[in-house]
Amino acid sequence: MDAATLIAELEPTVERSLEQHLASAKEWFPHELVPWSRACDYVAGETWDAGQVELDGPVRSALFVNLLTEDNLPYYTSTITSLYGNDGAWGVWLRRWTAEEGRHSIVLRDYVTVTRALDPVALERARMAQVECGQIPRPAGPQNGLVYVALQELATRVAHHNTGKLLVDPAGQEIMKRVAADENRHYLFYRDLADAAFQIDPSGMLLAVEQEVRTFEMPGTGIVDFSHHAKAIARAGIYDFQIHYEKILLPVVLRHWNLEALGGLTPEAERARDSVLERIDRIAQAGRRTEARRSAVLTN
Ligand SMILES: [Fe+2]
Ligand SMILES: [Fe+2]
């Protein structure tokens, strides 16, 4: 199905989901969650000292990647606008979503600055580099876009939630909980749209699921030292294959979208279904191996 037809047919669902999203939204304020009383000025010539705050390396990596990803919002917004346009309910949603995501980078940056959790010089240089390179996943069309954002919002929710669990600081935990709750609402919005798209264009959506599962990357690939941080994040169990399978692919792709039960598919989509199911199975196996290795390290 061509992009314009799908986007037009999804418009009533966008309107309905947007209405629900706005009606159930609870306003919150970054400044109320940030522990300002812990702040102190950097004196002239002072450099950041990691020893000022006790925090494991992987948690610092997660805060760094999560924050820089939120900072890269201009590119997500422009990609989503280029896929779905900026008119009607789609435009209202995209602008609202952009504003909500902006709140995440505000609260995270204020938190890491006040608590000295991250080196502010390295962080600012990395922000400049990240935004200047403007690297984000660019889904091939509207079907791919819906699959990607649904999976990515849920993955981001899980990453924020798991980062929060490893923070000892209750203020940090509360912030990560609040941001994760927003990401969950974004996930539900995009999942609703993807559900409607499956009704309208099941074969197109199945092809998109196959491509997006095959090429899925957590946001942040343009971040300085991304693979080093991603490995640390995986080692700490904040986000890895096992979590990707258990928290994303199994509940959303296999159970919610229930690929195996989809009917009326083209032969190409049938092949894509076989291929994606096989791939998910391989990801599950990789996840079990990762889990076994982690348990072995912990017991030794
Ligand atoms: Fe966000
Ligand atoms: Fe989000």
Ligand 1 centroid to Cα of residue 187, in Å, is: 11
| CA nearest to 179, candidates 196, 191, 167, 192 | 167
Q: Considering every ligand atom, which ligand is closest to the CA of 66?
A: 1
Whether the Cβ atoms of residue 187 and residue 154 lie closer than 8 Å to each other: yes
pLDDT for the residue 27: 97
Ligand 1 centroid to Cα of residue 18, in Å, is: 17
Residue 102 exposure: Cα atoms within 13 Å on the Cβ side: 9
Q: What share of the chain is helix, strand, coil (3-state, %, to 5)?
A: 80, 0, 20
pLDDT for the residue 300: 66
Q: Considering every ligand atom, which ligand is closest to the CA of 106?
A: 1
- Tally Cβ neighbours within 10 Å of residue 293: 11
pLDDT tens for 4-33 read 899 999 999 999 999 999 999 999 999 999
Whether the Cβ atoms of residue 210 and residue 275 lie closer than 8 Å to each other: yes
Ligand 2 centroid to Cα of residue 183, in Å, is: 4
User: What six digits make up the tokens of 29?
Assistant: 């304020």
Residue type, 257: W
Residue type, 68: L
Q: Which residues surround ligand 1, an ion (CB under 5 A)?
A: 70, 101, 104
Segment-wise mean pLDDT, segments of 10 residues, the chain, 300 residues: 91 96 97 97 92 91 95 92 92 96 97 96 96 89 96 96 94 97 97 96 96 88 90 92 95 96 94 97 91 76
Whether the Cβ atoms of residue 157 and residue 184 lie closer than 8 Å to each other: yes
Q: Considering every ligand atom, which ligand is closest to the CA of 187?
A: 2
Give the long-range contacts of residues 270-273, CB within 8 A, separation 24 or more. 272/206, 272/207, 272/209, 272/210, 273/206, 273/210
Residue type, 1: M
The helix or strand, by DSSP H or E, that contains position 203, with its residue range, turns out to be: helix 202-215
Ligand 2 centroid to Cα of residue 275, in Å, is: 29
CA angle 224, 228, 232 (to 5 degrees): 130
Tokens 């820089």 appear where?
68
The whole-angstrom separation of Cα 30 and Cα 108 is 8
Estimate to the nearest angstrom the gap between the alpha carbon of 69 and the chain centroid: 9
The whole-angstrom separation of Cα 144 and Cα 167 is 34
Ligand 2 centroid to Cα of residue 277, in Å, is: 27
Ligand 2 centroid to Cα of residue 45, in Å, is: 37
Ligand 1 centroid to Cα of residue 99, in Å, is: 10
Ligand 2 centroid to Cα of residue 49, in Å, is: 31
Q: Is the dihedral of CA 182, 84, 191, 189 positive or negative?
A: positive
Length of the chain: 300
pLDDT for the residue 8: 93
Ligand 2 centroid to Cα of residue 184, in Å, is: 7
Ligand 1 centroid to Cα of residue 235, in Å, is: 23
Ligand 2 centroid to Cα of residue 248, in Å, is: 15
Ligand 1 centroid to Cα of residue 101, in Å, is: 4
